Structure 1
């Protein structure tokens, strides 16, 4: 009898303590997740472990500045190894933004990365920091696939790759998150959309699982502003990804964005991205 698929989820919790107060725990209890990547944890490791419970193996990389950023991975599978990789030059602070860990799943080692790319701000030092991080991320990706055939980089990557990924793309072409220079990184990772092998072996060969599953449609979006009617009108951005190595992508059985049923049921401004992998 075949084992059940490995269910991997990622979500920017926008502060895990606040997310739990608003209902995150009920979602997690019902979703049967095996490995969970979190971004913007904004809490101590003790707080994080206490909220998730003792059944989860938790690794956490907090940001240098207390109450900011922070990435974590929680798993129900044995952890084989953890790599807290510092991206970029020695003087670049990447704490709380990139965390790697290996997990053994039915005899197969799966490498998981929880990533939180800077939001940036066009024409400022914040944008410079974002490009420094994206440069380091691009350089790291080939090393990941050399390390493990089964690898997934997931999280809030804060870039909409294509027009399909942002409802109001025309109004954002000069803003951080949809700048041509940012989108070019994803062209190099996944291939440009006019490349016949886009998202199927082009670029560095990684696969955008969400776009592969959804096809050439708007969204499905993963982030909506708290302000105005953005959520109700589905005026969102698809900036939360699971980027899988080709071998792991070939095992995908299901992809879902767990969008809340109503505005007042949201526990983060992001929705979880959940993928089933049949290893």
Structure 2
């Protein structure tokens, strides 16, 4: 996917949300071991890669999700992180989405010149249940980042975060059910409660997918196809666009880039009912939808 940058792969399980990790499941399908942690070769410098015409493959203004098959603050990646930070430093025109289950390690892993944060970095913590929300969000609020968000995925237990949203630092909340081996159910009542708290504080809320097992009105539904999960999440009407995020993106000389010169996401026919559209980086023009006759 064009909006994902995996500078390293593999991880160590550390909490309840890791129990049925999708990365471990997909690695098993490829006869790999998810505990094997390694620096990627072709993909490590992805944000700096260029097209034949000399332009960056990732355009100014795009949002890139980092370490979706690992954790950016994983201890085993300490030897590679400085180089990854340097890559992000060289692309102040690109938005980088960082997500971790290890916020307690973040302060010691920041660049020396970090100050109160970089304008192009959004830092998110995973809060799969109330225990982890109460453990991780206070750390999140104390850390120096310009942009902060919360990810309740896999959503495996009721979560209330209103007392944290009141601090005014959280700009985005995402939630989604669990998939693949051993998926635990996601209850729609949890989603509605979380969404209502975000609406109260005018914070963007995105319900990206139901998960394999979804409970609504005390009925349990089996939804094995992720595309259907996403469509059901969209049709629920839970997605809410709150106050806009004020990104201050610059060129490498520090000059702010005008909005008209930034990437504008575009979508295809099959994107119309996608639960992730509210936070999506848009179509990559890979052509797969034409192959499946849904263009």
Q: Which has the higher contact order (CA 8 A, sep 6+)?
A: 1
- TM exceeds 0.5? no
Q: Report the TM-score, using the length of structure 1 for normalisation.
A: 0.38
Q: Of Structure 1 and Structure 2, which has the larger fraction of its residues in strand? A: 1
